[in-house]
A and B are shown apart, each in its own frame.
Chain A
Amino acid sequence: MTTISAQPGPSAQAPDDAALARSVQRSSARRRQTLWVWLLLMPTVVLYGVYTIYPIIASYWYSLVEWNGFGAEKRFVGLSNYQSVFADPLFWSSFKITLIFMLLVAPARVILSFLLAIVLNSPKLPLSKLFRTVFFLPVVTTTAIVGVVMQFILDPSSGPINSFLKFLGFEGGVNFLGDSNVALFTVSVVYVWKFFGITMIYWLAALQTIPQEIFDAARIDGAGFVQIFRYITLPLLKPFVIIISLLTIEDTFRAFDLMQTMTGGGPFFSTEIIEIYIYRWAFAAQIPQLGHASAAAVLFGAFVFAIGLIQLWGVYAARRLRKDLSA
């Protein structure tokens, strides 16, 4: 590294020519290094700048204009897009559905996968490798494809699930995706099934930080399964609970693929999460209202950002907790 060479101490007299030459050389090397540094950063600066940073900023401007289609003129209208978004009951409905969806799927993912991870982590369980693979499998499959296939599996007349229900004697069958009281719940179950494996891997990674010897020692001391769980596993996992919960919560805001392909927000907007709301105003409407959609997007972005801030704080708190535990 070029930054490590020692600075001349105060005892050094006027630098002789050789030292001067060295320091000139050093500063030019340093400048060259800065050049290289920015050169390597260039691809990220350009791509991330154009496709992430610029959109974040531009959204604010777009939310202040009336703009009916990408080719059309933009006309500054101040905050009136926000007014119309706030006055739109469907926006509030989509906000509410986003939250309900989160409350349905996040606890299910965190708690159920935790229980499964505990069982799978035990070295005594036969076939545990195979089980891990199976429960992780849906994660790698394409969400949009799964969403479409699920439409058929849950089909009210010929789908296998309803055929099975009929076989069991429930003649009526359930219209899983066509009934606005059931659809959100159905998608939630599919979502949990699809992304369950990610949270399970989080938990397995967390469990692996606890050395097996601690469990063995406790068992030799006569601790039972429940005692080990209560007094060893849970306290040691506390820092992970925060991180895993927040990672999972953040993940639930990215349900567009599944929702769009399974229900498209319907029936009667009963599964319309905010991302679909934005999509509908910007791309699916007869006359796109990009200003209106941008205002909704800005509000959504701010909301996710706020959750993200809580998350960073949580990670920070969890790190401290871990340090306290290991101290």
Chain B
Amino acid sequence: MSASSPAVRPLRAPRWQRILRRVPWWIAVAFLVVLAITWVYPFVWMVSASLKDNMEVFAAGLELIPSRFAFENYVRAWEDARFGRYLVNTVIVTLWTVFIVTVRCACAGYVLGRYSFPGSKIFMGVLIATLFVPTGYTIIPIVQVSLQLGVIDSLTGMILALSGAANVSAILIYAGYFRQMPKELEEAAVVDGAGFLRIFFSIMLPLAMPVTATVALLTFLATWNAFFLPLVFSFSRPELRTLSVGMQAFVGENAVDWTGMAAAGVISIIPVVVLFFFLQRYFVEGIAGAVKS
């Protein structure tokens, strides 16, 4: 700024005008607050019902705060309805699936993103062509093949099926990320005498940490919430049910135990919601990635 320029008076509208201009925003906020309360109402109702006793829920009042906190609902869901067991199953299945999917997608994405080899184009083509295969289409052969491998009715079978079903987008995210890394990285490493695996594990993979976080998180979410495959894999062995399958079975058996159902729902949903609150950024970035690419 030169000293000769005339002093510019800050251009500010009068106070009342500024307040007036904000009015539409406050109306928007009021509307959004009402909408947001409606939005979370089902969850609030679930938590509230899980703490009432069955009489109070059936009285069908709109009061959300229970007259007496009935924590025995949780004991019933945890022990009698075996949700403790289902939770353990879900955790085992989810952790293994996340591990397998992340490793296998990182490996495949790295190779497809950085090397051209005979068959790489075809490989990519097959992946993209099968990007949107619905579970309803593949479910019968999956059961048949698991039967032949002897892993039907087992958590192992469930894990394998969940980690083998479509995770193409994860491979594509990794491939895109590895592709845009500078070549000098590898050249320097080769000069230093690093081999193929060293380059991948000690240079490339650590650099891809943000992608790994996103892929792991989205896989976690998908597996924790999976229903179709766990349902089919636990038909004849109820003790293998995951939370989502257990919930449906529970309601099928005890249609009148509303508060136990609500408590079971809270047990099932709390882990993902807590995870979401802490790692929200990665969730959002992972989903937004589908549009940006």
Residues of A within 8 A of B (CB): 1-4, 32-34, 36-38, 40-41, 43-44, 46-48, 50-56, 58-59, 62, 70, 119, 124-127, 130-138, 140-153, 157-160, 162-164, 167, 193, 198, 201-202, 204-206, 209, 240, 243-244, 247, 250, 253-254, 256-257, 260-261, 274-275, 278-279, 282-283, 290, 293-294, 297-298, 300-301, 304-305, 307-308, 311-312
Contacts and interface: CB of A to CB of B under 8 A. Distances in A.
Given A43-B104, A51-B161, A260-B227, A204 B132 contact: no
B131 A62 contact: no
Contacts of A135: 36, 39
Contacts of B115: 3, 33, 37
A55 B227 CA distance: 19
A261 B251 CA distance: 10
Given A37-B115, A304-B133, 6 more contacts: A55-B137, A127-B32, A143-B244, A149-B46, A167-B62, A308-B131
A51 B232 CA distance: 14
Contacts of B57: 158
Nearest to A127: B29
Nearest to A124: B25
B188 to A, nearest CB: 11
B262 interface: yes
A56 B248 contact: no
A261 to B, nearest CB: 6
Given A152-B258, A256-B227, A305-B132, A283 B232 contact: yes
Nearest to A254: B134
A246 to B, nearest CB: 10
State the 10 A-B residue pairs at the shortest beta-carbon distance, nearest first. Answer: A51-B164, A275-B136, A205-B288, A55-B141, A47-B164, A55-B138, A144-B244, A43-B104, A40-B107, A301-B137
Contacts of B280: 133, 136
Contacts of A250: 132
Contacts of B45: 149, 153, 160
Given A137-B39, A158-B58, A297 B140 contact: yes
A37 B262 CA distance: 49
A130 B112 CA distance: 39
Contacts, number: 275
Interface of B: 22, 25, 28-29, 32, 36, 39-40, 42-43, 45-46, 49, 57-58, 60-62, 100, 103-105, 107-108, 110-112, 115-118, 123, 126-145, 147, 160-161, 163-167, 171, 183, 186-187, 190, 196-197, 200, 221, 224-225, 227-228, 232, 235, 243-245, 247-248, 251, 258, 261-262, 265, 268-269, 272-273, 275-277, 280, 283-284, 287-288, 290-292
Contacts of B118: 34
A275 B229 CA distance: 13
Given A1-B186, A256-B228, A279-B136, A50 B145 contact: yes
Contact of B291 (A59, A163, A244): A244
Contacts of A137: 39-40, 43, 273, 276
B103 A53 contact: no
B291 A240 contact: yes
B145 A145 contact: no
Contacts of A2: 190
B243 A145 contact: yes
Nearest to B21: A124
A157 B66 CA distance: 20
Contacts of B110: 40
A41 B103 CA distance: 11
21 contacts: A41-B107, A43-B108, A44-B108, A50-B160, A51-B138, A52-B166, A58-B145, A141-B273, A142-B224, A145-B265, A149-B42, A158-B258, A205-B291, A254-B134, A256-B228, A257-B244, A260-B227, A260-B248, A294-B140, A304-B137, A311-B132
